[in-house]
Structure 1
Amino acid sequence: MFDVTIIKKWLLEHEAEKRAYDGFWFNFKNYKKEDPLEFNTFFPNFDLNLLEIKINSVAINFSNNYPELDYNHIIITIPIIYKRKDIGYYKLLFNFDGSVDDDYFVMH
């Protein structure tokens, strides 16, 4: 049986929740600055009060490397809800040592 308290402890030790939200806001601000036309397409008349972000999943991923299992992540996903519409998500991929491997926005 898998002991989920190990993951909870890991998340706390590596401040994963805080780092996920910090990463979201860093990327969000860059997106707004670097691609204002696309930003305005997804966030027309942007109002921060209409933006909802909340971590909805934490996953352990062993990707495309069975049986080696040498490319693994803990992934935090934050849906991006604007004006009550699901318009995308932000993912942060941690290596098991707590370092960040990658992060990205996906808008749909």
Structure 2
Amino acid sequence: SDAGSQYTSFRLAEHLDTAGTAASIGSVGDAYGNALMESMIDLFETELIKPRRPWKTLSQVELATAEYLDWYNHRRLHGETGHVPPAEYEANHYLSTTKPQVTTNI
């Protein structure tokens, strides 16, 4: 997140600590991380939240969000990644950058 007061407050820090979560705050004057997150939230709202309104329960939103993230990461084709899903792109990246292990027979 950015370094706004709502993200750097003691109350939020205590809440994150209780949940076992670490805060991730971008460097001052660096808007790239925030822009990426805002773009993702806009896409999420456009593709899932707005078309299926009105939502009746929080449980419906939670389940739909989990299903959307699974679809987005494993089946949705992304032009920026050569029209493959992010999980496949990441797996291909690691396969192409990982050096083979050298084994010896003793």
Larger RCO: 1 or 2 (CA < 8 Å, sep 6+)? 1
The higher radius of gyration belongs to: 2
Query: Relative to total residues, which structure has the larger helix share, 1 or 2?
Result: 2
Indicate whether the TM-score tops 0.5. no
TM-score of the pair, normalised by structure 1: 0.26
